[in-house]
Chain A
Amino acid sequence: MNVFALLTIALPAIGSAATFAGGRDRRHAQFWSVAPTAAALFTSLVVLAEHGTDGASVAATSLTPAGSYTLWLGTRVTGLSAQVGILVTVVALCVQVYSLTYMKHDRRYPTYAALVSLFTAAMLLVVFSDDLIVLLVGWEVMGACSYFLIGHYWERRDARYAAIKAFLVTKTGDVPFLIGIGVLGVQAKTFRIDGVLDYVASGQLRYAPLIATLLLCGVVGKSAQFPLHSWLPDAMAGPTPISALIHAATMVAAGMYLVALLYPVFTAAPGVLILMAVIAAITMVGSALAAFAQTDVKRVLAYSTVSQLAYMLGGLAVGGRSAAVLHLLSHGAFKALLFLGAGVVIHRVGSNEMSAMGGLRYRLPITFWTMTVALASLVGVPLFSGWFSKEAILGAAWNASGEFAAPGRIVAVFGMVTIALTAGYATRLWLKMFFGPFPEASPEDSRVEAPSTELVPLIMLAVPAAVFGFVALGQGFFGSWIGGDFGEAISSTVSADLRPEGLTSLIGFVLAALSAAVVWDRWRRDPQADPAVMLGPLRNAALEGFYVDDVIDLVIVQPARAFARVIAFLDTEVIDAYVRGAGVSVRGLGGLLRRVQTGNIQLYLTALFSGVIVIAIVFAGQVR
Chain B
Amino acid sequence: MHAVYPLLLGALLFAIGLYGVLARRNAITILMAIELLLNAVTVNLIAFGSLIRDQYNVGQVFTLFVITIAAAETGLGLAIVLMIYRQRGTASVDEQRALAEPLRGPADDAGGASAELAEAGSAANGAGAVR
List CB contacts (< 8 Å) of B16-66 with chain A.
18, 21-23
List CB contacts (< 8 Å) of B74-128 with chain A.
93-94, 96-103, 105, 107-108, 111, 114, 118, 121-122, 125-126
**How near does chain A come to B123, taking the closest CB pair, in angstroms?**
10
Contact across chains for A598 and B103 when beta carbons are under 8 A apart: no
Contact across chains for A602 and B23 when beta carbons are under 8 A apart: yes
Contact across chains for B101 and A597 when beta carbons are under 8 A apart: yes
Q: In this assembly, does A622 line the interface, its C-beta being within 8 Å of a C-beta of chain B?
A: no
Contact across chains for B97 and A565 when beta carbons are under 8 A apart: no
Chain A CB within 10 A, most for which of B107, B114, B125:
B125
Contact across chains for B23 and A595 when beta carbons are under 8 A apart: no
- Our pick among B97, B111, B114 for the contact of A599 (Cβ within 8 Å) is B97
Closest residue of chain B to A571, judged by CB?
A: B121
Q: In this assembly, does B4 line the interface, its C-beta being within 8 Å of a C-beta of chain A?
A: no
* Cα distance, A580 to B112, chains bound together (Å): 12
- By size class, the interface of chain A is 20 to 34
Contact across chains for B96 and A601 when beta carbons are under 8 A apart: yes
What 0/1 readout, one digit per residue, does chain A (579-613) give for beta carbons within 8 Å of chain B? 01001100100110011011111100110010000
* Cα distance, A602 to B94, chains bound together (Å): 8
Contact across chains for A598 and B100 when beta carbons are under 8 A apart: yes
* Cα distance, A589 to B83, chains bound together (Å): 37
Q: In this assembly, does A557 line the interface, its C-beta being within 8 Å of a C-beta of chain B?
A: yes
**How near does chain A come to B15, taking the closest CB pair, in angstroms?**
12
Q: In this assembly, does B130 line the interface, its C-beta being within 8 Å of a C-beta of chain A?
A: yes
Query: Given A594-B105, A595-B103: A572 and B122 within 8 A (CB)?
Result: yes
- Our pick among B97, B111, B122 for the contact of A568 (Cβ within 8 Å) is B122
**How near does chain B come to A456, taking the closest CB pair, in angstroms?**
37
Q: In this assembly, does A161 line the interface, its C-beta being within 8 Å of a C-beta of chain B?
A: yes
**How near does chain A come to B62, taking the closest CB pair, in angstroms?**
21
Contact across chains for A606 and B22 when beta carbons are under 8 A apart: yes
Contact across chains for B121 and A572 when beta carbons are under 8 A apart: yes
Query: Given A590-B105, A602-B21: A165 and B131 within 8 A (CB)?
Result: yes
Contact across chains for B97 and A572 when beta carbons are under 8 A apart: no
Q: Which residues of chain B come closer than 8 Å to A598, judged between CB atoms?
A: 97, 100
- Our pick among B22, B101, B108, B130 for the contact of A168 (Cβ within 8 Å) is B130
Contact across chains for A609 and B22 when beta carbons are under 8 A apart: yes
Q: Which residues of chain B come closer than 8 Å to A587, judged between CB atoms?
A: 107-108
**How near does chain B come to A34, taking the closest CB pair, in angstroms?**
35
Q: Which residues of chain B come closer than 8 Å to A584, judged between CB atoms?
A: 111
Q: Which residues of chain A come closer than 8 Å to B96, judged between CB atoms?
A: 599, 601
Closest residue of chain A to B114, judged by CB?
A: A580
Q: In this assembly, does A564 line the interface, its C-beta being within 8 Å of a C-beta of chain B?
A: yes
Q: Which residues of chain B come closer than 8 Å to A597, judged between CB atoms?
A: 99-101
- Our pick among B22, B101, B105, B118 for the contact of A602 (Cβ within 8 Å) is B22
Contact across chains for B97 and A600 when beta carbons are under 8 A apart: yes
Q: In this assembly, does A198 line the interface, its C-beta being within 8 Å of a C-beta of chain B?
A: no
* Cα distance, A440 to B85, chains bound together (Å): 98
Closest residue of chain B to A162, judged by CB?
A: B131
What 0/1 readout, one digit per residue, does chain A (412-436) give for beta carbons within 8 Å of chain B? 0000000000000000000000000
**How near does chain A come to B94, taking the closest CB pair, in angstroms?**
6
- Our pick among A165, A576, A594, A609 for the contact of B130 (Cβ within 8 Å) is A165
List CB contacts (< 8 Å) of A161-194 with chain B.
161, 164-165, 168
**How near does chain B come to A573, taking the closest CB pair, in angstroms?**
9
* Cα distance, A587 to B105, chains bound together (Å): 10
**How near does chain A come to B21, taking the closest CB pair, in angstroms?**
6
Interface of B is mostly: helix
Q: Which residues of chain A come closer than 8 Å to B101, judged between CB atoms?
A: 594-595, 597, 599
- Our pick among B18, B121, B126, B130 for the contact of A164 (Cβ within 8 Å) is B130
* Cα distance, A234 to B130, chains bound together (Å): 13
* Cα distance, A598 to B93, chains bound together (Å): 13
* Cα distance, A423 to B101, chains bound together (Å): 87
* Cα distance, A568 to B18, chains bound together (Å): 61
Query: Given A165-B131, A565-B125: A602 and B97 within 8 A (CB)?
Result: no
Contact across chains for B18 and A609 when beta carbons are under 8 A apart: yes
- Our pick among B94, B103, B105, B130 for the contact of A557 (Cβ within 8 Å) is B130
* Cα distance, A549 to B101, chains bound together (Å): 63
**How near does chain B come to A246, taking the closest CB pair, in angstroms?**
20
Q: Which residues of chain A come closer than 8 Å to B97, judged between CB atoms?
A: 598-600
* Cα distance, A165 to B126, chains bound together (Å): 18
**How near does chain A come to B108, taking the closest CB pair, in angstroms?**
7
* Cα distance, A161 to B98, chains bound together (Å): 61
Contact across chains for B125 and A594 when beta carbons are under 8 A apart: no
What 0/1 readout, one digit per residue, does chain A (127-167) give for beta carbons within 8 Å of chain B? 00000000000000000000000000000001001001100
Closest residue of chain B to A597, judged by CB?
A: B101
* Cα distance, A557 to B99, chains bound together (Å): 60
- Our pick among B105, B114, B126, B130 for the contact of A161 (Cβ within 8 Å) is B130
* Cα distance, A241 to B31, chains bound together (Å): 93
**How near does chain A come to B74, taking the closest CB pair, in angstroms?**
17
Q: Which residues of chain B come closer than 8 Å to A591, judged between CB atoms?
A: 103
Q: Which residues of chain B come closer than 8 Å to A580, judged between CB atoms?
A: 114
List CB contacts (< 8 Å) of A11-36 with chain B.
none
* Cα distance, A165 to B97, chains bound together (Å): 66
* Cα distance, A583 to B112, chains bound together (Å): 13
* Cα distance, A568 to B124, chains bound together (Å): 11
Q: Which residues of chain B come closer than 8 Å to A595, judged between CB atoms?
A: 101, 103
Closest residue of chain A to B98, judged by CB?
A: A599
Contact across chains for A605 and B22 when beta carbons are under 8 A apart: yes
**How near does chain A come to B36, taking the closest CB pair, in angstroms?**
15
* Cα distance, A609 to B23, chains bound together (Å): 13
Query: Given A587-B108, A605-B21, A606-B22: A599 and B99 within 8 A (CB)?
Result: yes
**How near does chain A come to B125, taking the closest CB pair, in angstroms?**
5
* Cα distance, A132 to B125, chains bound together (Å): 37
Can you list 28 A-B contacts (CB < 8 A)? Answer: A158-B131, A161-B130, A165-B130, A557-B130, A564-B125, A568-B125, A572-B118, A572-B121, A572-B122, A584-B111, A587-B107, A590-B105, A590-B107, A591-B103, A595-B101, A597-B100, A597-B101, A599-B96, A599-B97, A599-B100, A599-B101, A600-B93, A600-B94, A601-B96, A602-B93, A602-B94, A605-B22, A606-B22
Q: Which 4 A-B pairs have the closest CB atoms?
A: A599-B100, A599-B97, A597-B101, A594-B101
**5 further contact pairs, Cβ within 8 A, besides A565-B125, A597-B101, A599-B97:** A580-B114, A587-B107, A601-B96, A606-B22, A609-B18
Interface residues of A (CB under 8 A from B): 158, 161, 164-165, 168, 234, 549, 557, 564-565, 568, 572, 576, 580, 583-584, 587, 590-591, 594-595, 597-602, 605-606, 609
